[in-house]
Amino acid sequence: MNPIEQQILRNSEILKKYIPHFAVNTIAHWIIELDIKLKITKERSTKLGDYMPPHNGLNHTITINHNLNEYSFFVTLIHEIAHLKTYNQYKNKVAPHGIEWKHSFRQLMNPFLTTDNLPLDIFYALRKYMNNPAASSCSDVTLMRTLRLYDKVHETNPTVLLEHLPFRSHFIYNGSRIFEKGEKLRKRFRCKDIASGAVYLFSPLAEVEVFEKQTM
């Protein structure tokens, strides 16, 4: 076994822990062919993954949150590889999620998009999303909601989706700030920061913790 084959094997062993089996071999090869440094990171509340082009002698770098389920990790990884492919062809001359990126994303995803590979609900949600891929899978409520069904439930994680809370419920977001859930404006909920009175718009799929109001 030559050094490249050994590296592909090592990549495959790592990828098996994070993505569906049908994609492991192909993406293990892409990591070598496209010179990708893949970093598995701690959870970040503002993003699922990101791509950084080569700089200061470093190669292409993609980071993905470690706690995503295998299908969310897979979709996010394809999303970021599409950025790499777009950068290789156009550098910084095109919009980050313009038609060039959409084309790259479809090209990369299409071979995997079969009912043999994907659960039916993810297949249909992803196929619809492919009509007009967005800046994040989180932007597509149907796809995000479907992917969330495959999250593992941990008893130590008391979070729920904001859309499941009753109107005027209080909830904790990002560990400390307390909000009151308000009315829905088109696709997002209008929520008030209890401490400051400031109003923010939240995705219905925001992960929040129920806050039990104290009564005397």
The CATH number linked to 186 is 2.30.30
pLDDT value at residue 138: 67
- Residue 170 lies in domain: 159-210
Q: Which uninterrupted H or E stretch holds 208?
A: strand 207-210
pLDDT value at residue 19: 97
Query: Is 215 contained in some domain?
Result: no
Helix, strand and coil content of the chain, in percent to the nearest 5, comes to: 40, 20, 40
- Domain boundary pick from 118, 148, 178: 148
| Shared domain check, 196 and 96 | no
| 8 A C-beta contact, residue 81 and residue 62 | yes
| Shared domain check, 198 and 105 | no
| Shared domain check, 165 and 136 | no
* Residues facing 104 on adjacent strands: none
User: Count of alpha carbons within 13 Å of 116, Cβ hemisphere only?
Assistant: 4
pLDDT value at residue 152: 77
| 8 A C-beta contact, residue 20 and residue 115 | no
| Shared domain check, 21 and 119 | yes
Count structural domains, the chain: 2
pLDDT value at residue 215: 42
pLDDT value at residue 216: 37
| Shared domain check, 55 and 121 | yes
| Shared domain check, 142 and 35 | yes
| 8 A C-beta contact, residue 160 and residue 170 | no
pLDDT value at residue 22: 97
Segments of the chain scoring below 50 in pLDDT = 154-156, 214-216
C-alpha 9/C-alpha 29 separation (Å) is 9
User: Count of alpha carbons within 13 Å of 150, Cβ hemisphere only?
Assistant: 20
Task: Select from 79, 112, 110, 109 the least CA-distant residue to 97.
Answer: 79
Query: Is 7 contained in some domain?
Result: yes
C-alpha 162/C-alpha 2 separation (Å) is 51
- Domain boundary pick from 148, 167, 184: 148
Write the Ramachandran bin of 175: left for phi over 0, alpha for psi from -120 to 50, otherwise beta.
left
Query: Is 216 contained in some domain?
Result: no
pLDDT value at residue 203: 86
pLDDT value at residue 65: 94
User: Count of alpha carbons within 13 Å of 6, Cβ hemisphere only?
Assistant: 3
Query: Is 13 contained in some domain?
Result: yes
| Shared domain check, 196 and 164 | yes
Report CA-CA distances (Å) from 175 to 1, 158, 163, 192. 49, 11, 18, 16
| Shared domain check, 182 and 144 | no
| Shared domain check, 114 and 11 | yes
Query: Is 31 contained in some domain?
Result: yes
| Shared domain check, 139 and 194 | no
| Shared domain check, 75 and 8 | yes
| Shared domain check, 140 and 36 | yes
Query: Is 181 contained in some domain?
Result: yes
| 8 A C-beta contact, residue 84 and residue 50 | no
- Domain boundary pick from 122, 148, 174: 148
Per-residue DSSP letter, 152:
P
Is the overall model pTM greater than 0.85, yes or no? no
